[in-house]
Structure formats: C-alpha cells, structure tokens
C-alpha cells in the first residue's frame, strides 16, 4: 500500500507527526516495535516524573512543620505509587490510540526495515511512502565497566520496574537522569550515593545551578563523589577513584545512568545510505531532512536535544515542510527541565556558550528568596534566577533557574527568546502578583 507519510516509531515525535499529518489530510502509516508513546511514556519521562511527584508529596508531608502541618506515622507506599504510575501511563496511551483513530492513521506493531525507494517492510509486508520519518528514539548506554552486567545493576528503564524500594542505591553518573533518580529515592528515605566522573554534576547546566542542586540534594539522603572514575562493580560494591585515592560505595541496587544512544539497529539504514553525524545519530539539517530526499528524522535518533518536547517540535517541522509550510528548528529556544526538588529549568545560552559564539554578554542573577510567593511555598530551599543578555542589543539570550515551580515558568522565557525580546520590551510585561514568575522581571534589576 502507498502512503503519503510512513513513520517509524510512535514516541513523542512519531505520534505527533502522525496527528499533524492526519490533520492535513495525509494518508499516514505509523509503525511501533513496542508500545504507543515510545520511551518517554513507557520507560522514561512520564513514569519517572509520576514517581518523583509521589516522592515530593511524601517529603512535603514529612517536613510540613514550617507550614503548621504536623502529622505522625507518615509512610511511603511504593506499591501504591507504582499503581498510580501505571494508571497515568495507561491513560496517556489510550489517549494516543484515540488520536490515531480520529485521524484514520494506520498503526502497525512490529519491527520496521527500510529499503531503497522509500519502502518499509513490517512482518514480511512491504509498503511504499512518499516520505519516511525515522523517530525510533534512544536507549540507555552502558560504559565498559567490569561487573556492569551484575543482577543488581539496572539502567533507567530497569529501575522503573522495581516493585519495592532498595535499602540503598548507588548511582553511576551524575547527569540529569542520575540526579532525578537520586532525588526520587533519597526523598523517600533511601540512602543514595552518586558517583560522577566530571568535576560537577549536570555538567551541561550553568555551573551556579549545578552547585546549588548538589547542595540541596545532600539534604535528601544523597552523597556525591565528583571527579570520580569508576573502576569496577563487584556485587553491591562500586569501586572508584578520586584523584589518587581509591574509594568504594555500597548499594543494594546500582543504577548506571551514563547517557543514551540512538536506536539505529535493524532499521536497514545502510540500505538507504543515510548519513550519520559525529555523535552517532542520523544527520539532519535545520528542516530535519536527511541526505536522502523524502527521508526525515526527528528526536533522539538524531542525537540532538534528547528531549521529548524537542522531538515533538522536530516532528512538527517535518510535517510542515512536507505540506509546503516553511519551518525550521531553533534549538536555542527549546527549554529543558531537571525534575528534581528543587527543579531546574533553562532555555537559551549560558554565559560561556554565548562567549564561545563571539558574543559580548552581561548577566544578572537574584536569589529566588526575594520573591514573596517563593518564600511562602519553599521555606529553607535555595533558588536562583539568572539571565544572559547581549551587551549591545540588550537581547535576552538565556534564562537559567533553580527552585520550585521553575518547570511551569520556563515557557514564558522560551517565548521571550523565540520572539527575540529585548530588556526594555520585557520590562513592559506585567506579571501577576504574588507569583514566583515575577523573578523573571525582577532579575533584570541585577543585570550589569
């Protein structure tokens, strides 16, 4: 059968592309090897953030004295938290099924293999398409550490399948994923040790934010070792060295969170002669087109952004270009969030990134504690809002925040960057009072 668009992978890129293409009247085929929703819905962001919210609720109940809330015998029921997680996932998956049915998208489950002439074979049946979108996502990567195949060693997928809390946890890798799980388990009383190879956790973030996050997570049963080289995993013991000192960390469970890799195997990409980039992902241009006409790629499989919402935006760009609307990716205005407590939310450039591009910049930063709403809702929690501004034009280049509610505020900063607002224009925006969002206006008082 011939389709206008065949999509391989039904994650945040795939089902969004199918939805938009269906809205445009295209005949669409959507192929998924596992479950609708992809890694994000079934093995990543949705289940992990649901459990993080459960842990946060428990932690707030346990430490509610500052609000005058005094309770005894507070317990965290991991079984019920998992049941809630499953309910959320099932509901979202059913929603995707409804979206596809409404738009008459044909959904096939199985392994897709691509071949020349924009052909796609699923379970022995071959289909043709004018356009093919590859969005097969990514998988956890595992470094070559001796002992990493141990039965008590899990990745970010395996840890979400736990039925009971571990007595202790060692996290190898202090990036975003590692810190989120450290926060989750530490908040409910599990002693956590994070071992990170680089000098600071979450190394892609603004250094001020990473430093505050590390400090705040130590209040939640989390111990950090940075600049640490893991040498071996032996049973429940992780052996590592910091400078010339040999150290060990004990954990009933060991989580390896050292990054992800694009899912490229068994797709037949070599048959298409698709180019790859230096990161190992499918190489695409700003329109998400590959070097092969009619073949597109979006999401983690491209090795860019590694965010579900970035994948969805890339999918939109693909469909827009297929249907004649000029559109392209603007990665600098895509926000990202670390769902720890406190949260981190960022969009745009850091000072260092801007200077690497030859820009002259100035920064402004203020503590979240100058904000009344933040003080009322987050007593004792450190927070920071930091902006990067281009010197000559006073154009906003980046916003970097740590503190409660940041994930719900960052979209406003993303809109400012997308529309290239200047400091004077932002000064004219009215923010409701009292809200934590006011810090995004107040921070400009500190810009020098």
Percent of the chain with pLDDT over 70: 100
Closest of 212, 216, 166 to residue 192, by C-alpha: 166
Domain containing residue 129: 2-140+261-329
Domain endpoint, select from 274, 294, 329: 329
DSSP alpha helix (H) spans, 4-157: 14-23, 38-43, 45-62, 78-102
208 shares a domain with 267: no
Residue 1, pLDDT score: 80
Q: What is the domain count for the chain?
A: 3
Residue 59, pLDDT score: 96
Please determine, for residue 448, whether its predicted confidence score (pLDDT) is greater than 80.
no
pLDDT classification of 270: cutoffs 50, 70, 90? confident
Residue 375: inside a domain: yes
CATH number of the domain where residue 393 is located = 3.30.390.30
Residue 7, pLDDT score: 99
Please determine, for residue 23, whether its predicted confidence score (pLDDT) is greater than 80.
yes
Of residues 320, 378, 400, 433, which has the active-site annotation?
433
| Mean pLDDT of the chain, nearest integer | 96
* 384-390 and 396-402 strand pairing: antiparallel
Residue 309, pLDDT score: 97
Mean pLDDT score, 425-442:
95
Q: In what order do the strands lie in the sheet with 361-367?
A: 336-338, 344-348, 396-402, 384-390, 361-367
Neighbours of 86 (CB within 10 A): 12
Greatest extent of the chain over all pairs of C-alpha atoms, in Å: 68
Domain endpoint, select from 329, 350, 367: 329
Residue 278, pLDDT score: 82
175 shares a domain with 322: no
Residue 148: inside a domain: no
**127 tagged catalytic:** no
Please determine, for residue 133, whether its predicted confidence score (pLDDT) is greater than 80.
yes
Domain endpoint, select from 329, 350, 376: 329
266 shares a domain with 249: no
162 shares a domain with 129: no
How far apart are the C-alpha atoms of 251 and 242, rounded to whole Å? Answer: 19
Task: Find where tokens 């992800």 sit.
Answer: 260
Please determine, for residue 262, whether its predicted confidence score (pLDDT) is greater than 90.
yes
Task: Find where tokens 């908040």 sit.
Answer: 187
266 shares a domain with 136: yes
* 253-256 and 169-172 strand pairing: parallel
236 shares a domain with 179: yes
39 shares a domain with 82: yes
Mean pLDDT score, 382-405:
97
């Amino acid at each position: 059968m011939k389709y206008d668009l065949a999509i391989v992978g039904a994650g945040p890129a795939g089902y969004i592309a199918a939805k938009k293409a269906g809205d445009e009247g295209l005949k669409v085929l959507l192929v998924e090897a596992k479950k609708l929703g992809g890694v994000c819905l079934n093995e990543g962001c949705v289940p992990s953030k649901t459990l993080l919210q459960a842990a946060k609720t428990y932690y707030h109940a346990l430490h509610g004295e500052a609000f005058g809330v005094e309770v005894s015998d507070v317990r965290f029921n991991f079984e019920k938290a998992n049941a809630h997680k499953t309910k959320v996932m099932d509901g979202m998956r059913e929603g995707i099924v409804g979206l596809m049915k409404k738009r008459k998208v044909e959904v096939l489950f199985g392994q897709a293999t691509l071949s020349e002439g924009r052909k796609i074979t699923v379970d022995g049946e071959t289909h043709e398409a004018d356009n093919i979108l590859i969005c097969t996502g990514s998988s956890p990567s595992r470094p070559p550490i001796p002992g990493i195949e141990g039965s008590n060693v899990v990745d970010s997928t395996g840890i979400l399948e736990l039925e009971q809390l571990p007595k202790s946890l060692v996290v190898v890798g202090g990036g975003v994923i590692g810190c989120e799980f450290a926060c989750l388990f530490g908040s409910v009383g599990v002693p956590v040790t994070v071992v990170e190879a680089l000098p600071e956790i979450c190394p892609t973030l603004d250094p001020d934010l990473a430093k505050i996050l590390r400090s705040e997570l130590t209040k939640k049963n989390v111990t950090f070792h940075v600049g640490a080289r893991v040498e071996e995993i032996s049973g429940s013991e992780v052996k590592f060295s910091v400078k010339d000192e040999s150290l060990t960390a004990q954990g009933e469970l060991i989580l390896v969170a050292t990054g992800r890799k694009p899912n490229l195997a068994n797709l037949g990409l070599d048959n298409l002669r698709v180019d790859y980039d230096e990161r190992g992902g499918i190489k695409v241009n700003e329109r998400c087109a590959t070097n092969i006409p009619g073949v597109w790629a979006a999401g983690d499989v491209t090795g860019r952004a590694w965010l579900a919402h970035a994948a969805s935006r890339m999918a939109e760009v693909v469909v827009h270009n297929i249907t004649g609307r000029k559109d392209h990716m603007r990665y600098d205005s895509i926000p990202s969030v670390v769902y720890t407590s406190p949260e981190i939310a960022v969009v745009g450039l850091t000072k260092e990134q801007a200077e690497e591009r030859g820009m002259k910049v100035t920064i402004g930063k203020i503590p979240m504690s100058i904000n009344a709403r933040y003080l009322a809702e987050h007593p004792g929690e450190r927070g920071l809002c930091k902006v990067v501004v281009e010197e000559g034009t006073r154009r906003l280049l980046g916003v970097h925040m740590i503190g409660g509610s940041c994930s719900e505020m960052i979209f406003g900063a993303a809109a400012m960057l997308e529309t290239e607002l200047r400091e004077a224009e932002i000064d004219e925006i009215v923010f409701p009072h009292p809200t934590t969002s006011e810090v995004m206006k107040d921070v400009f008082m500190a810009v020098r």
